[in-house]
């Protein structure tokens, strides 16, 4: 436990997800085209807004003006009309060309052969994270190694969600009956924050996602820990928790809620709604609706004794 928590705590946290501070290739290419577009639109703004403001200022009626005297009546000019049609056309064609290149480079990038495959499945209102090559199932945190790319298969179990970790990659939706793809390659170890970016119901706001990028050897250690099954617990298995949650190595095989096998290795509870502390865990199990109203996890009306047993067991799931 100390080892795992030590790993996590040492990582810098990128809570402010500024799209202009990209830390992975897809976000970087989006950032570069953004700079170009900002420069072009900024220049247009300065010129056109300048013209408008100058016109208003220069031609405003002044106190001494003869109200009866109308200004010269000008109906138009084909030359001027053509000029301010052709110039925008040229600008637009430059932008179309540049966009087409970036779209192709991000969307059609062939993944490197030894990339990590992760399946990300959206649920109301949490993320299921599966590592098919490692046999790991976890939730709300995607652990990835730095220095290589991670390929994400995006699916949804219910409604549309959207994967967005601004400093790593722009959005791709998770749509039921459809598999989308995205990829990330964080360069530095760190915890990158993201949110579900498509409105998905009551608790859309508290559907937070973290990408935990670790040095390759740290990632391997993490994966090895996650592959281990958990110990059984009679008290826990006698409660209805098991109908929704899976704990590997035990009869708990529910699919509706997040896999809890290594719950304590995660930073938060309830998809980022609250920090994963002993007190919060207790409150969460006791009454999920208090911390995350509308959450699909019901209050099970546990007695204090049952609550203590459940929390003790969950705290053992390192």
Partner 1 sequence: MASIDYPLERPRPKEGEFSFSETLYRWVATVDHKRLGLMYIVTALLFLVIAGLMASVMRLQLAFPNNHVVGPETFNRLFTMHGTTMVFLVGMPFVAGLSNYLVPLMIGARDMAFPRLNAFGYWIFLFGGLLLYFSYIGGGGLSGHGSAPDVGWFAYAPLTSKAFSRGASTDFWILGILVAGIGSVASALNVIVTTICMRCPGMTLTRMPMFVWVMLIDSWLIIIALPPLTAAQVMLLIDRFLGGNFFNTQAGGSAVLWQHFFWIFGHPEVYILIFPAFAILSEVIPIFSRKPLFGRAAMVGAVVAIGFISLGVWAHHMFAVGMTSWSNTFFAASSMLVGIPTGIKIFNWTATMYGGKLRLDTPMLFCCAFLLQFLVAGLTGIMLAVSPFDWQLHDSYFVVGHFHFTLIGGLVFGLFAGMYYWFPKATGKLLCEKLGRWNFWLFVIGFETTFIPMHFLGILGMPRRIYTYAPDRGWDFWNLVSSLGVIAQAAAIALFIWNVIDSIRSGEKAGDDPWDGWTLEWATSSPPPEYNFEKLPVVRSSRPLWDLKHPHDPDWKFEQ
Nearer to partner 1, 73 or 305 (CB): 73
Which position among 6, 9, 59, 301 is part of the footprint of partner 1 (CB under 8 A)? 59
The answer to the question of residue 49 lying near partner 1 (CB under 8 A) is: yes
H helix or E strand, kind and range, residue 208: strand 208-214
The answer to the question of residue 51 lying near partner 1 (CB under 8 A) is: yes
Which position among 70, 110, 114, 217 is part of the footprint of partner 1 (CB under 8 A)? 70
H helix or E strand, kind and range, residue 118: strand 116-123
Residues 113-172 that bind partner 1 (CB under 8 A): 124, 154, 158-160, 162, 164, 166-167, 169-172
Candidates 177-185, 219-227, 240-248, 308-316 — which segment interacts with partner 1 by CB under 8 A? Answer: 177-185
Phi, psi of 91 (to 5 degrees): -60, -45
Which position among 2, 9, 73, 113 is part of the footprint of partner 1 (CB under 8 A)? 73
Q: Considering only CA atoms, which of 126, 108, 101, 116 is closest in space to residue 30?
A: 101
Q: How far is the CB of 107 from partner 1 (least distance, A)?
A: 4
Residues 299-318 that bind partner 1 (CB under 8 A): none
Phi, psi of 128 (to 5 degrees): -95, 130
Give CA–CA dist 116/227, Å, rounded: 16
Which position among 27, 116, 120, 263 is part of the footprint of partner 1 (CB under 8 A)? 27
Q: Provide the H-helix boundaries in 112-205.
A: none
Give CA–CA dist 142/210, Å, rounded: 6
The answer to the question of residue 177 lying near partner 1 (CB under 8 A) is: yes
Contact indicator for 161, 207 with CB cutoff of 8 Å: yes
Nearer to partner 1, 146 or 172 (CB): 172
The residues with which 128 forms a beta bridge, in sequence order, are 121, 139
Q: How far is the CB of 156 from partner 1 (least distance, A)?
A: 8
């Amino acid at each position: 436990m100390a080892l795992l928590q030590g790993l996590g705590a040492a990582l810098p946290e990128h809570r402010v997800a500024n799209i202009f501070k990209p830390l992975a290739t897809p976000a970087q290419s989006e950032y570069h085209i953004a700079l170009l577009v900002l420069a072009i639109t900024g220049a247009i703004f300065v010129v056109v807004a300048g013209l408008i403001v100058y016109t208003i200022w220069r031609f405003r009626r002044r106190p001494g003006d003869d109200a009866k005297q109308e200004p010269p009546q000008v109906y138009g000019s084909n030359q001027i009309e053509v000029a301010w049609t052709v110039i925008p056309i040229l600008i637009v064609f430059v932008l179309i060309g540049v966009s087409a290149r970036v779209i192709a480079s991000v969307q059609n990038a062939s993944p490197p052969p030894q990339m990590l495959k992760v399946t990300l499945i959206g649920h109301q209102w949490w993320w299921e994270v599966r590592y098919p090559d490692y046999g790991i199932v976890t939730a709300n945190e995607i652990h990835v190694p730095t220095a290589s790319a991670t390929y994400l298969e995006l699916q949804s179990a219910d409604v549309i969600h959207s994967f967005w970790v601004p400093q790593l990659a722009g959005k791709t939706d998770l749509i039921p009956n459809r598999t989308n793809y995205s990829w990330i390659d964080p360069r530095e170890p760190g915890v990158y924050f993201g949110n579900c970016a498509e409105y998905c119901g009551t608790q859309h706001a508290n559907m937070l996602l973290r990408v935990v990028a670790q040095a390759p050897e740290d990632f391997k250690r993490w994966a090895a820990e996650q592959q281990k099954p958990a110990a059984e617990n009679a008290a826990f298995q006698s409660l209805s928790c098991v109908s929704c949650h899976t704990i590997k190595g035990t009869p708990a095989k529910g699919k509706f809620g997040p896999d809890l096998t290594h719950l304590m290795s995660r930073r938060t509870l309830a998809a980022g709604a609250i920090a994963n502390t002993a007190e919060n865990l207790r409150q969460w199990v006791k009454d999920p609706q208090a911390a995350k109203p509308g959450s699909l996890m019901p209050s099970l009306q546990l007695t204090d004794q049952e609550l203590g047993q459940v929390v003790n067991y969950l705290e053992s799931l390192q």
